């Protein structure tokens, strides 16, 4: 009888260790830790238009399409008014960054969607603007977060390993995209 109780105790200990080990592994990885969140909320401001939006774009893991449409409108090309649907994976990157930094103010959008015409015009006057920029696909954003140093924001984004991350210290912004993982 004591042997059976000992076996159950060992099994319980094994299950506890397994549960806590898995939980620790999930919590240690930022993309997995936020996956269990019930609502994913973003607080954004477009610095060019002055428009702001605080909205839940996911609930119980499902996209809220109306909210994504509103975010896409906020991230539109402010020069032409053109709108491109934003990649939900980009919103998830932003959400994970918010979870890590916990900003008190909205994420400042420097550049969201750029029409091909705007992108070409910027290429003529700004070095480093890619001819095939993911901004033209709704898959890139340039941001800053008030109260967070640009270098610290860059490090958090790099740690996510979720796409491209560019660091622009002179202009005080970080580029994020949903392309292959790369940094510059």
Tally of domains within the chain: 2
Claim to verify: residue 4 and residue 78 sit in the same structural domain: no
Claim to verify: residue 22 and residue 50 sit in the same structural domain: no
User: Band of the pLDDT at 37, cuts 50, 70, 90?
Assistant: low
Helix (H, G, I), strand (E, B) or coil at 95: helix
Claim to verify: residue 28 and residue 47 sit in the same structural domain: no
CA-wise closest residue to 87 among 174, 184, 179: 179
Q: Is residue 102 classed exposed, middle or buried when 0-12, 13-18 and 19+ CB atoms within 10 A define those classes? A: exposed
Question: Would you say 108 and 143 are in contact if contact means Cβ atoms under 8 Å apart?
Answer: yes
**Nearest-angstrom CA–CA distance, 89 and 109:** 17
Claim to verify: residue 166 and residue 153 sit in the same structural domain: yes
pLDDT, one tens digit per residue, over 42-77 is 999 999 999 999 999 999 999 999 999 999 999 999
Full-model pTM: 0.78
What is the pLDDT, as a whole number, of residue 7?
42
Claim to verify: residue 83 and residue 168 sit in the same structural domain: yes
Claim to verify: residue 23 and residue 82 sit in the same structural domain: no
Per the structure block, which two tokens stand in for 3?
A: 């042997």
Comparing 109 with 25, the larger pLDDT belongs to 109
Claim to verify: residue 42 and residue 23 sit in the same structural domain: no
Domain that holds residue 53: 38-183
């Amino acid at each position: 009888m004591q042997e059976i109780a000992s076996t159950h105790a060992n099994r319980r200990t094994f299950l506890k260790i397994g549960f806590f080990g898995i939980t620790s592994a999930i919590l240690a990885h930022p993309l997995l830790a936020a996956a269990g969140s019930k609502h994913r909320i973003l607080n954004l401001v477009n610095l060019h238009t002055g428009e702001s939006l605080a909205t839940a774009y996911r609930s119980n893991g499902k996209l809220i399409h109306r909210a994504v449409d509103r975010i896409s409108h906020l991230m539109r090309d402010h020069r032409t008014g053109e709108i491109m649907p934003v990649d939900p994976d980009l919103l998830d990157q932003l959400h994970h960054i918010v979870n890590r930094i916990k900003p008190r103010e909205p994420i400042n959008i420097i550049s969201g969607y750029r029409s091909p015409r705007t992108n070409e015009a910027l290429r003529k006057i700004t070095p480093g603007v890619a001819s095939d920029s993911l901004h033209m696909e709704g898959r890139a954003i340039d941001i800053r977060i008030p109260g967070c140093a640009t270098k610290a924001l860059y490090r958090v984004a790099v740690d996510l390993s979720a796409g491209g991350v560019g660091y622009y210290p002179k202009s005080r912004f970080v580029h994020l995209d949903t392309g292959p993982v790369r940094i510059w």
